[in-house]
Chains A and B, each alone.
Chain A
Amino acid sequence: MDSEKFIWLLRNGDNALILSQRLSEWCGKGPALEEDMALTNTALDLLGQATLWLSYAGEHGGAGRDEDQLAFLRDAPQFRNVLLVEQPNHDYADTLMRQFYFDVWHYEWLQALAASNDQRVASIAAKSVSEVRYHLRRSTDLLVRLGDGSVESHRCMQSAADQWWSYTGEFFSSDDIDQAMATRGVAPLPETLHAKWIAHLTQSFDAATLTLPPAEAWMHRGGKQGRHSEHLGYLLAEMQFLQRAYPGAQW
């Protein structure tokens, strides 16, 4: 069993799964019908991507667990998503800004993974990146419109940008598992994507008349290693309820 790669695959799957679940919480509650549809469609894309990653993880050291068992029968410390994606939705600006930060990183990450020497990883990344390109286009467009919109929308977007900033460092921090994957040619080191990420942010924030928070700020860590905020437990309690209450239930 290749536990390093298993955990690395979980990180990819869990980022998509947990953000998908958060976005799904907006279903039926979006501020406009078009936004409701956009967030739930984005959630659907991410859920599909999570399925691809987690089924590979299950085959690759998952001890016989399939993607559903990995999604519904693990507890919080076994999840390996970054802390940003489990943060609560709060208001709409917070949801959009969390999505923007994620999409910029996700796009660059998947572009890089499409060149992985692991064929399965490369094909999942190439499949996902065409969906994420559309997510990123939408997030960037909304950031510019709302940042450069009314006084109130500008204030909300700036506040959201500052609020989530300390959760963005985790995208670019590496540990032994990242090192091992880089050595094997499966993935680049996370920190190598930072310059492109900042460049996209700088251009978008300029166009949106927003101020980029300081690069040297203190950053949260731990989600990738399974040390989560309390929010993840509540999210899982809802997401996993059915399988916990009725083990083995199927459609």
Chain B
Amino acid sequence: MVKASDDQLWQWLSQVADPEIPVISVVDLGIVRGWQWLDHERLEVMITPTYSGCPALQEIADDIRTALEQHGLNAVTISTQLSPAWTTDWMSESGKQKLRDYGIAPPAQKASEQVVENAIDISAMLNLNAPAIACPQCGSSHTRLISQFGSTACKALYRCTGCLEPFDYFKPH
């Protein structure tokens, strides 16, 4: 068969949903790093873990393989690439909007902005000047942290003091 084009592959992979947050794709999240054709029919897709212990990685690899099989690619291998390390800075704008619509507040700042080279400065380390997290339900910036960790490794739990609803926050990472 004829090799699929890069545009075609991006489009197919954009249909693969993240198993834990099904409204966004593995492309929106920046998990798919690229691919290479090993010969005229064998394709290697490179993915990167969000968090190093993320239990969804195996499922993501399986989902990608299944999706590509449906388009006639039967010799797909998935390999894991660690470097450069995944960051929420790669999340697409459309991905952020989809998260918001789903009720999850997207990262409110660049992860690179919270890198403190010098951990000795503990007030910077504690990120005391971090921007307020807007409630994805009502938009209020009067929100507070309930739990530094949530239902998955990538999220924290907040509550809106305006509409009183709790919500997930996708942490800058």
* Interface residue ranges, A against B (CB under 8 Å): 33-34, 37-38, 41, 44-49, 51-52, 104, 107-108, 119, 122-124, 126-128, 130-131, 133-134, 136-138, 140-141, 144, 196, 199-200, 203-204, 207
Determine the residue in chain A with the shortest Cβ distance to B86.
A127
Quick check: is B146 within 8 A (CB to CB) of the other chain? yes
Contact (Cβ within 8 A) B150 A37: yes
Q: A104-B119, A136-B125, A141-B126 are in contact. Are A38 and B149 (CB under 8 A)?
A: yes
Which of A41, A51, A128 gathers most chain B CB within 10 Å? Answer: A41
Determine the residue in chain B with the shortest Cβ distance to A43.
B53
**Min CB–CB distance A46 → chain B (angstroms):** 7
**Min CB–CB distance B85 → chain A (angstroms):** 4
**Min CB–CB distance B78 → chain A (angstroms):** 16
Contact (Cβ within 8 A) A123 B119: no
Query: When A and B form their complex, which 9 residue pairs have the shortest distance between CB atoms, in order from nearest?
Result: A48-B53, A48-B52, A123-B83, A34-B147, A44-B53, A41-B149, A199-B120, A127-B85, A123-B82
Q: How far is the CA of A203 from the CA of B173 in the complex (A)?
A: 25
Q: How far is the CA of A141 from the CA of B156 in the complex (A)?
A: 16
Contact (Cβ within 8 A) A108 B51: no
User: Interface range on chain B: under 10, 10 to 19, 20 to 34, or 35 or more?
Assistant: 20 to 34
B122's partner among A46, A48, A126, A203 (CB-CB below 8 A) is A203
**Min CB–CB distance B64 → chain A (angstroms):** 20
* CB-contacts of B68-107 with A (<8 A): 82-87
Determine the residue in chain B with the shortest Cβ distance to A45.
B53
Contact (Cβ within 8 A) B119 A136: yes
Report 14 cross-chain contacts, Cβ distance below 8 Å, ordered by A residue. A34-B147, A37-B150, A38-B147, A47-B53, A49-B52, A122-B83, A123-B83, A126-B84, A126-B85, A130-B173, A133-B114, A134-B173, A136-B125, A196-B119
Quick check: is B45 within 8 A (CB to CB) of the other chain? no
Determine the residue in chain B with the shortest Cβ distance to A103.
B119
Q: How far is the CA of A33 from the CA of B125 in the complex (A)?
A: 25
Contact (Cβ within 8 A) A131 B122: no
Contact (Cβ within 8 A) B171 A130: no
Residues of B near A49 (CB, < 8 A) are 52-53
Q: How far is the CA of A105 from the CA of B87 in the complex (A)?
A: 23
Contact (Cβ within 8 A) A138 B148: yes
Contact (Cβ within 8 A) A123 B85: yes
Determine the residue in chain B with the shortest Cβ distance to A124.
B82
A196's partner among B82, B120, B150 (CB-CB below 8 A) is B120
Quick check: is B30 within 8 A (CB to CB) of the other chain? no
Contact (Cβ within 8 A) B82 A52: yes
Residues of A near B126 (CB, < 8 A) are 137, 140-141
**Min CB–CB distance B168 → chain A (angstroms):** 13
**Min CB–CB distance A127 → chain B (angstroms):** 4
B52's partner among A37, A127, A140 (CB-CB below 8 A) is A127
Residues of B near A108 (CB, < 8 A) are 119
Quick check: is B164 within 8 A (CB to CB) of the other chain? no
Residues of A near B138 (CB, < 8 A) are none
Contact (Cβ within 8 A) A37 B149: yes
Contact (Cβ within 8 A) B148 A127: no
**Min CB–CB distance B11 → chain A (angstroms):** 29
Q: How far is the CA of A44 from the CA of B150 in the complex (A)?
A: 13
